[in-house]
Amino acid sequence: MNCDEVRAQYLAGEDDDATGVHLAECAACRARREDLQAGRRALMDQAIWEEPPPELEDQVVALITANQNRPSLGTGWLERWVRPLAAAAVVVAVVGLYGVFRTPSPDWAVAMPGTDLAPLATSTIAGWNTESGTRMVLAVEGLDPAPAGYVYELWLSQGPLHISAGTFTADGEIDLWTGVTRADFPRLWVTLEPLDHDESPSGHTVLDTGA
């Protein structure tokens, strides 16, 4: 199952063991779980699916007709267009709701294991290439919270050139952005950084994909 199929099943309330396995393995889908849960709750609200009273369409048509300044056109064209549009609006609303929670599959994903400074830590990182850079979802487990006065920082590197993609303080699922692409900066790594004025990596590496 791909990400779109899993998210569609989840929204429909049809998630099963296969869906659970996918969520456990896919950092991108786990990062969208709260959005998916909100969408599922919204879709389960009976008010969304409640059939409007049969006279509603006639009332809408009558209201529009009463405000027309071109009586010579008559009301036939209104009935031919407004009634189908009213039905189509329901479909558009549902499709739009799904579109809000549907996220394309990542353009790339890679494991970023822990180093000797964090031997129990594991992580995966998924990335989406955009016109303005790269959106990433970092999923980290087994990493101790950053001590007071410190943060973890994700870097993208090409040789001696390092670009920061943002900071975080604890494991979990973190959304990060950078203005460059991984194709140009293939190494991904996380360091423990003191809160100071030095903007260069500290060298205390806790997660690293390697060169």
Domain boundary among 64, 84, 101: 101
Per-residue pLDDT of the chain (211 residues), as tens digits, is 677 777 777 777 777 777 778 877 777 777 777 777 777 777 776 666 666 777 766 777 677 666 655 555 455 555 555 555 555 454 444 445 444 444 578 899 999 999 999 999 999 999 999 888 999 999 999 999 999 999 999 999 999 999 999 999 999 999 999 999 999 999 999 999 999 998 899 989 999 998 6
Q: Name residue 209's amino acid.
A: T
Residue 10 and residue 88 in one domain: yes
Pair (148, 170) in one structural domain: yes
Range of the domain at 135: 108-208
* CB neighbour list of residue 126: distance below 8 Å, 6 or more residues apart: 26, 27, 28, 106, 108, 109, 136, 137, 139
C-alpha 80/C-alpha 40 separation (Å) is: 34
C-alpha–C-alpha distance, residues 129 and 149, integer Å: 32
Task: Among 101, 120, 144, give the residue marking a domain's end.
Answer: 101
- The verdict on 201 and 137 lying in the same domain is yes
Q: Which of 55, 77, 101 is the last residue of a domain?
A: 101
0.75 surpassed by pTM: no
Total of domains in the chain = 2
